[in-house]
Amino acid sequence: MMQKEFKPIDMRYEEAELRSNRRSRSSISRTIDRVWAFFSSVKVGLWLIGLIILASGVGTIFPQEMYIPQNLPPAEYYQKEYGSAGLLYYTLGFHRLFESWWYIGLITLLLLSIIIVSIDRFFPLYRALKKQPVIRTKRFMDGQRFGASASGSQDQIDGLEPLLKKKGYKVKRKDGALFAEKQRFGRYGPYINHIGLVLFFGGAMLRVVPGMHADELIWLREGDTLPIQATDSQYYLKSDAFNLEFYDPKKENAKFQEALERAGSNVPKNYETELRLYERTGTLENGKPKLEEVKSGSTEVNHPFTFGDYQVFQEQYASEPEFISMSFDIMNQKTGKPVDSIKIDLRDPKQEYDLKEGYKVELIDFFPDFVVEDGVPNTKSARLINPAYVFNITSPEHPKGERSLVGIRMNVGGDDNQYAMEFAGTEFADISGLRVKKDLTLPFLYVGGIIFMAGLIIGMYWPHRRLWVRSENGQVEIAGYTNKNALALQKEANHALTAVGLPELEDRQKLREEGETA
């Protein structure tokens, strides 16, 4: 009969009334109740988590804008590298997904859901567990999954108390009844999880707050000084030198030699940039910033250069060095003799170069990465890889000037001119890819992650176990409950019950299922 009469009681919240189950009469209160019930739904929280995971996955299909090369506009880069799919990716704003209003909005809604779920369930549960009666009703005893009933005495119940205490239970007595409980804190594990999630996602949201997070990639040539935009150009970095070391297969361990020989001779072993940090202290008369050196040092892979809350990581380097200057001789093609020479600083080229005896060279146009497209000279990128120039040479014989297109191993239009530019030499500079990072949200992420894991472990490994025993008219009734690992409770309780001569707990749920099957 027991299995047919068993009607389990929902013990998730100890039969406490949840705020989300209330129904108010006034229209305003009903609206509040509907909103509260919506966000307190676990299904809503799961849908929000699913949408965030899906959106995050889309954000990793192509690299985010902060990780793409800086020499092309983002729209042009995504279309050039990934075609129409890349252009669509950029148009829809996925290139800056984690800063978008709708992604932050999803996280905000999830945080709201977590907070409301926690408030809705934690406080009723806490109040119910704090004031647990020792003597329970027959309906309550019969509604527990584990139970037993048999003739017994008060002495048997008294003998049960020390045995349960040895197993770590806290025992309360009233009018001969017994209530034993241990590991109540295990019921609070999910809510500890929620605190960790709120801190973690809240920390992630703080990244959009100015001053809390910065991530900038700087391409810095040797000898150049550039502002750090992440510091609002308050600080500048100068590259004194870039050092690159390659593996020598002959000097490495034998087990690596074969792999290095297959890869070739250009396998980088270490690369670092020697840096100087400057702080802007004012403005000079020419409008340029007045800089004061603050610190010097170096950054290499996994060993950042630090200042304040910022870290400068050696992330990458350009496979090919860039030109920083080019020298040209102005040749009189009739006599074959040079008239003069000029040196062009490619980082800050002049528009005119006045020479001796009335000669002058004008820089009409400049192509950093020269290419001819549809018969028209153009540049593929802003990087100084294959520079070319359009010069106009003014001389006493030709006051209006003679034009020519000059580059490396190229001189177009100069053969018919009396004066021509002849390439005389160049200087190169290596380029470092430096990642400047600042993240004041990390403490929130770390603490949130630790708290989340603590709640997960507490909820999984410390189940809440309870045992109620009461005697009435010579009949001893026993009931047991746990939120996890039910068989362990049954085994633990039965060991104490049989020791004092009381019957073992029966799994009423299992008996009912077996009865229904039969």
Domain boundaries, given as residue ranges, for the chain: 11-131, 134-183+465-518, 187-205+444-462, 208-321+432-443, 322-428
Helices (H), 394-485: 442-461
> What's the CATH architecture for 134-183+465-518?
2-Layer Sandwich (3.30)
pTM over 0.75: no
DSSP 415: T
Give the strand pairing for 419-429 and 388-394: unpaired
Residue for token digits 């996890």?
484
DSSP H or E run through 171: strand 170-174
Task: Answer for the pair 173, 161: CB distance below 8 angstroms, yes or no.
Answer: yes
Sequential pLDDT tens for the chain (518 residues): 344 466 788 888 887 777 777 766 667 777 888 888 899 888 999 999 999 999 999 988 998 887 777 666 888 888 888 999 989 999 988 998 888 889 999 999 999 999 999 999 999 999 999 989 999 998 899 999 999 999 989 999 999 999 999 999 999 999 999 999 999 999 999 999 999 999 999 998 888 888 898 888 888 988 889 999 989 999 999 999 998 887 776 665 655 666 666 666 577 778 899 999 999 999 988 888 999 999 999 999 889 999 999 999 998 887 777 778 888 888 888 888 888 888 888 777 888 888 888 889 898 888 888 888 887 888 887 777 788 888 888 888 888 888 888 877 777 666 678 888 888 888 888 889 899 999 999 999 999 999 999 999 999 999 999 999 999 888 999 999 999 999 999 999 999 999 999 999 998 888 877 766 55
Burial 266-284 (b: 16+ CB within 10 A, else e): ebeeebbbbbbbbbbeeee
